[in-house]
């Protein structure tokens, strides 16, 4: 089989390519934009069959690219910068491109698994895959929401076509994210900050939340990959399940917990939050004005649909997953 992975040199895409390799699959067409050339490092240890620049790939789609050799598409390519203000770029990259690729996949009967985002929920406090829960706060979230709406219409109006499966990623962290700069995970930034300054800076309280107690559903990229491959293998085996699924742990944990896990893993100690604050290893800075009204202070994936679809494996906690991530970075240093 040959699998197309878009965004293959990105964070989640490169982890998927590596996992496919580990499962014995090397017939992979990697699609990405290496204008930011350092991203190649994410796939230098991976085996692929071919590489296509994103623009070249789009041209081939528009020119009638054959889908005969393709058995599945893992569409991870997107602009994930939630602070991006160029709406035209965001919609072209995240919506139009995705819609074109989905149409091509359906035309050729190819299973299509793609990256959505928890950003579609905005400031809502219920994170369930329903229209009533969705109100994105930025154009990134809107671009993901609009494509999800396209998928919903397709899934509800058609029968017997290839599966279309979307994953609403919550706060993903883990290896191969170093190129993401400011959009890298909280764990990534905490690690770098502590190594450089001997402390981690968190936001003070805002919107009713105490300092560092804002909480997110932090999910390890290890678990994200496992869920993708679970649904991929089912689709390749003939399972026709389609739909949009939350992909988080179902557990909200605080920024304080992430910082504590990072510091304790680096120092190989078990220090309480109170002790870390007392020792000024965790400090609090004013909440940025630029983020007010655009910030999710709480996210927690409702996993009802994911579990009902058959995925039963446990997810790593922050304490487990961040420790593994930090130890991997320490080993690689």
> pLDDT of 98-142, one tens digit each?
999 999 999 999 999 999 999 999 988 999 999 999 999 889 999
- Residues carrying an active site annotation: 140, 180
For the chain, the straight-line distance linking the first and the last C-alpha, in angstroms and rounded, comes to: 36
Per-residue pLDDT, 157: 67
Question: Among 68, 67, 51, which Cα is nearest to 103's?
Answer: 67
Residues pairing with 247 in the sheet: 169
Q: Across-strand partners of 209?
A: 206
**pLDDT score recorded for residue 160:** 54
Measured CA to CA, the distance from residue 16 to residue 18 in angstroms comes to 5
Task: Read off the pLDDT of residues 7-53 as tens digits, 9 standing for 90 and up.
Answer: 999 999 999 999 999 999 999 999 999 988 899 999 999 999 999 99
**φ and ψ of 247, to 5 deg:** -130, 85
Task: Please tell me the pTM assigned to this model.
Answer: 0.95
Phi, psi of 117 (to 5 degrees): -155, 150
């Amino acid at each position: 089989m040959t699998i197309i992975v878009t965004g293959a040199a990105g964070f989640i895409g490169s982890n998927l390519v590596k996992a496919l390799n580990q499962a014995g699959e090397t017939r992979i067409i990697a699609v990405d934009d290496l204008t930011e050339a350092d991203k190649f490092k994410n796939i230098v240890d991976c085996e692929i069959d071919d590489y296509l620049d994103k623009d070249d790939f789009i041209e081939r789609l528009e020119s009638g690219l054959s889908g005969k050799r393709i058995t599945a598409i893992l569409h991870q390519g997107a602009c994930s910068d939630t602070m991006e203000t160029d709406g035209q770029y965001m919609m072209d990259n995240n919506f139009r491109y995705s819609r074109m690729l989905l149409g091509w996949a359906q035309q050729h009967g190819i299973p299509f698994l793609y990256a959505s985002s928890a950003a579609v929920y905005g400031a809502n406090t219920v994170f369930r895959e329903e229209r009533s829960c969705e109100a994105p706060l930025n154009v990134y979230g809107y671009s993901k929401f609009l494509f999800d709406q396209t998928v919903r219409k397709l899934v509800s109006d058609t029968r017997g076509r290839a599966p279309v499966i979307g994953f609403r990623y919550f706060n993903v962290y883990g290896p191969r994210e170093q190129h993401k700069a400011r959009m890298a995970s909280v764990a990534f930034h905490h690690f770098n900050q502590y190594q450089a300054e001997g402390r981690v800076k968190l936001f003070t309280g805002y919107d009713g939340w105490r300092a560092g107690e804002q909480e997110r559903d932090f999910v390890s990229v290890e678990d994200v990959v496992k869920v993708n491959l679970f649904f991929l293998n089912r689709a390749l085996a003939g399972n026709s399940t389609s739909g949009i699924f939350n992909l988080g742990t179902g557990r909200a944990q605080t920024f304080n917990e992430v910082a504590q896990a990072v510091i304790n893993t680096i120092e190989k100690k078990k220090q309480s939050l109170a002790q870390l604050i007392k020792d000024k290893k965790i400090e609090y800075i004013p909440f940025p004005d630029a983020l007010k009204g655009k910030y999710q202070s709480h996210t927690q994936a409702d996993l009802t649909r994911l579990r009902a679809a058959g995925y039963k494996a446990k997810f790593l906690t922050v304490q487990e997953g961040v420790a593994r991530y930090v130890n991997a970075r320490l080993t690689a240093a």
